């Protein structure tokens, strides 16, 4: 039906979309924002973090996996979703070891930025303090699984953008953990190089560069002063080994 | 010193913390004069008062790493109408909780016997030394906490907003730029 415009309502604003686009893609293309951690526009969809949950009618749907439809009424900025997202964030914090004061990504971290925006002060879930392995075997890239949120962005980036297969997620439920696909299971034995996308798309401080950290002073980092719903999910060049952003 | 009955009584303590939150509190600088109009200090490292009774507000810095921390915290909860977890350590254990991945015995051995430059020193023990807990815990694992002030440390502006909110009998609303996990 040529000439017919497709659009849906997003918090009362009309968002145009092309057929096949997800709610997430259409909203981001239209300059809007839906909280997300496992979605990246250059990668296939994973649909695991559930932060992008929106309300359509009386149903909760993840915006990154739901195709936009003409005339849909999508709600995003409502208090019940804020509370659900807050709980998801608190679970992510409780599940790992997030000692932000010593983390290289603090101030530039998308998990922290979402927590700031939603006004999280603490986790209401019992902190797990898991014991997870770190991996410092690679010359330039360090893996701190304590901060990994299993978003699978590095897994997909390695396969889809770098043409490699460095990472995978294994295990189920709370046992899910990031694995390195090498004989000894260590990052240093893979073909990962510093310029790979997979090394610089991690939304948190789980995959960081060994050099050039803490280059910015507190109050000067991206999310110290910028709200993530206004800047979008970004990993600035300063924490990406100095390589340009692979942004949205 | 006569008690100033019309003022809210503010107590503070540092459990497994570094006193950084107390230092940041003092960064309120001349706002101390404003504070003095509405609050008076009770038990606190600022006053050196060691006992506590019927305080209005208790600010807890640091998490729980030993038996004495538990005693002090229970005393604060019992004697404070409002209890506030102040800073990363009180809220999630913070830097001291980095030891949670290791057995306590291994930590003690590393610090007192096997570490670089140590030659079989004795691990201190005795009745007067509080025993370490197996894991460092956040304050709200043990007692009900009314408000949380994140930051390592929370900026002075966050302390001011907290105290204004308590004075005005409302919940604190920390401005975006003063919300900090570091
Ligand atoms: S990854 Fe983000 S949330 Fe986790 S410790 Fe680092 S800055 Fe904090
Ligand atoms: S290392 Fe980073 S990108 Fe990879 S799964 Fe963990 S959080 Fe996601
Ligand atoms: S962004 Fe949609 S589920 Fe993670």
- pLDDT of A74 over the 50 cut: yes
Residue B109 lies in a domain: no
Q: DSSP letter string over A38-96?
A: S--TTS-----S-TTEEEETTEEEETTTSB--TT-EEE-S-HHHHHHHHHHHHHHHHHS
Q: Which chain B residues contact residue A97 at CB under 8 A?
A: 97, 100-101
How confident is the model at residue A246, as a pLDDT? Answer: 85
Q: Do B141 and A126 touch (CB under 8 A)?
A: yes
Q: Would the CB of A111 count as within 6 Å of ligand 1?
A: yes
| Higher pLDDT pick, B120 / B50 | B50
A64 CA → ligand 3 middle, Å: 6
Distance B25 CA to ligand 1 centre (A): 24
Nearest by CB to A102, from B91, B95, B140: name it. B95
- The vertex-A206 CA angle with A202 and A212, nearest 5°, equals 85
Of the ligands numbered here, which is closest to the C-alpha atom of A35? Answer: 3
CATH number at residue B73: 3.40.50.700
Q: Residue A156: is its pLDDT beyond 60?
A: yes
Say how far apart CA B99 and CA B93 lie, in whole Å.
Answer: 10
Distance CA B69, CA B64 (A): 5
- In a 13 Å sphere around the CA of B144, the CA atoms on its Cβ side amount to 6
Architecture of domain A99-239: 2-Layer Sandwich (3.30)
Residue extents of the structural domains in chain A: 5-77, 99-239
H or E element in which residue B157 lies: helix B156-167
- A–B CB contacts, 8 A cutoff, strictly below: 67
Say whether pLDDT at B138 is over 50: yes
What is the model's pLDDT at position A174? 82
More confident residue, A244 or B165: B165
Of A98, A118, A129, which to mutate for an interface test with B (greatest number of B Cβ within 10 Å)? A129
B108 inside domain: no
Query: What's the whole-model pTM score?
Result: 0.95
Measured in angstroms, the CA of B88 and the nearest CA of chain A are apart by 8
> What pLDDT does residue A4 have?
60
Q: Is the pLDDT of residue A2 over 70?
A: no
How much is the pLDDT for A219?
A: 92
Say whether the ipTM exceeds 0.85: yes
Please report whether residue B92 resides in a domain. Answer: yes
Q: What is the pLDDT of residue A5?
A: 77
- In-domain check, residue B121: no
Give the DSSP H or E segment for A160: helix A153-160
Whole-number Å distance between alpha carbons of A149 and A95: 8
Inform me whether the pLDDT recorded for A3 exceeds 70: no
| Residue B9 is assigned to a structural domain of this protein | yes
List the structure tokens of A168: 């995978």
pLDDT beyond 80 at B120: no
Q: Please report whether residue B177 resides in a domain.
A: no
Ligand nearest to the CA of A102: 1
Exposure on the CB side of residue B127, measured as CA atoms within 13 A: 0
Q: Is B84 on the interface with A (CB under 8 A)?
A: no
Measure B147 CA to ligand 1 centroid, in angstroms: 22
For residue B1, pLDDT beyond 50: no
Helix, strand, coil in percent for chain B, rounding step 5: 40, 20, 40
* A248 band by pLDDT with thresholds 50, 70 and 90: low
What pLDDT, on a 0 to 100 scale, did the predictor assign at position B118? Answer: 86
CA distance B60 to B45: 12
Across the interface, whether the CB atoms of B176 and A131 are under 8 A apart is answered no
B148/A contact by beta carbon, under 8 A: yes
pLDDT for A30 beyond 70: yes
User: Average pLDDT in the A218-241 region?
Assistant: 95
In this structure, what DSSP letter does residue B110 have? Answer: I
- Give A55: exposed, middle or buried? Use CB within 10 Å, 0-12, 13-18, 19+: middle
**Which CATH architecture describes the domain A5-77?**
Roll (3.10)
pLDDT value at position A1? 46
- Is any ligand 1 atom within 6 A of the Cβ of residue A221? no
- Give chain B's mean pLDDT: 95
Above pLDDT 90, what percent of chain A? Answer: 93
pLDDT the model gives residue A105: 97
**pLDDT tens per residue across span A103-114:** 999 999 999 999
Instruction: Report yes or no on B15 lying in a domain.
Output: yes
Supply the pLDDT for residue B2: 52
Distance between CA atoms of B124 and A201, rounded to whole angstroms?
Answer: 47
A chain contacts of residue B147, beta-carbon cutoff 8 Å: 121
Q: What SS3 state is found at A149?
A: coil
Residue A160 pLDDT level (bands cut at 50, 70, 90): very high
Task: Provide mean pLDDT across the span A189-206.
Answer: 97
What whole-number distance in Å separates Cα of residue A113 and Cα of residue A64? 19
Position in ligand 1 atom list of the atom nearest CA A103: 6
Model confidence at A198: pLDDT above 90: yes
For residue B117, what pLDDT is reported? Answer: 87
Residue A10 is encoded by which pair of tokens? 């997003």
Sheet holding B147-149, edge to edge: B39-41, B8-14, B55-61, B80-86, B147-149
In a domain, B16, yes or no: yes
Counted domains in chain B: 1
């Amino acid at each position: 039906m040529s000439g017919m415009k497709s659009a849906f309502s997003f918090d009362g604003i009309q968002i145009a979309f092309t057929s096949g686009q997800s709610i997430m893609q259409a909203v981001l293309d239209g300059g809007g924002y839906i909280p997300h951690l496992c979605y990246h526009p250059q990668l296939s969809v994973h649909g695991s973090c559930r932060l992008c949950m929106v309300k359509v009618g009386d149903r909760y749907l993840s915006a990154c996996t739901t195709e936009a439809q003409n005339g849909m009424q999508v709600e995003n900025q409502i208090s019940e979703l804020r509370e659900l997202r807050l709980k998801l964030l608190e679970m992510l914090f409780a599940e790992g070891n997030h000692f932000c004061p010593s983390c290289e990504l603090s101030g530039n971290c998308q998990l922290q930025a979402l927590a700031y925006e939603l006004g999280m002060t603490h986790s209401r879930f019992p902190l797990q303090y898991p014991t997870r392995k770190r991996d410092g075997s690679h010359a330039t890239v360090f893996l701190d699984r304590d901060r990994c949120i299993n978003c699978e962005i590095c897994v997909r980036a390695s396969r889809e953008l770098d043409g490699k297969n460095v990472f995978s997620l294994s295990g189920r439920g709370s046992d899910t953990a990031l694995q390195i696909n090498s004989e000894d299971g260590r990052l240093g034995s893979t073909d990962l190089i510093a310029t790979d996308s997979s090394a610089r798309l991690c939304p948190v401080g789980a995959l960081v560069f060994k050099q050039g950290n803490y280059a910015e002073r507190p109050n000067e980092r991206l999310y110290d002063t910028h709200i993530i719903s206004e800047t979008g999910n970004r990993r600035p060049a300063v924490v990406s080994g100095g390589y340009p952003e692979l942004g949205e | 010193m006569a008690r100033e009955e019309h003022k809210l009584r503010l107590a503070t303590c540092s459990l497994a913390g570094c006193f950084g939150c107390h230092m940041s509190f003092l960064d309120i600088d001349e706002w101390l004069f404003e504070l003095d109009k509405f609050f008076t200090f009770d038990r606190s490292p600022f006053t050196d008062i060691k006992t506590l009774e019927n305080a209005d507000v208790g600010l807890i810095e640091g998490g729980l790493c030993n038996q004495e921390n538990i005693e002090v915290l229970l005393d604060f909860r019992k004697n404070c109408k409002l209890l506030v977890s102040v800073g990363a350590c009180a809220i999630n254990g913070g830097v001291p909780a980095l030891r949670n991945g290791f057995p306590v015995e291994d930590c003690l051995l590393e610090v007192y016997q096997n570490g670089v430059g140590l030659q079989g020193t004795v691990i201190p023990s005795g009745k007067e030394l509080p025993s370490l807990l197996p894991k460092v815990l956040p304050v709200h694992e043990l007692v009900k906490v009314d408000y949380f002030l994140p930051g390592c440390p929370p900026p002075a502006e966050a302390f001011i907003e907290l105290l204004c909110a308590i004075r005005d009998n409302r919940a604190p609303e920390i401005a975006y730029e003063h919300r900090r996990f570091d």
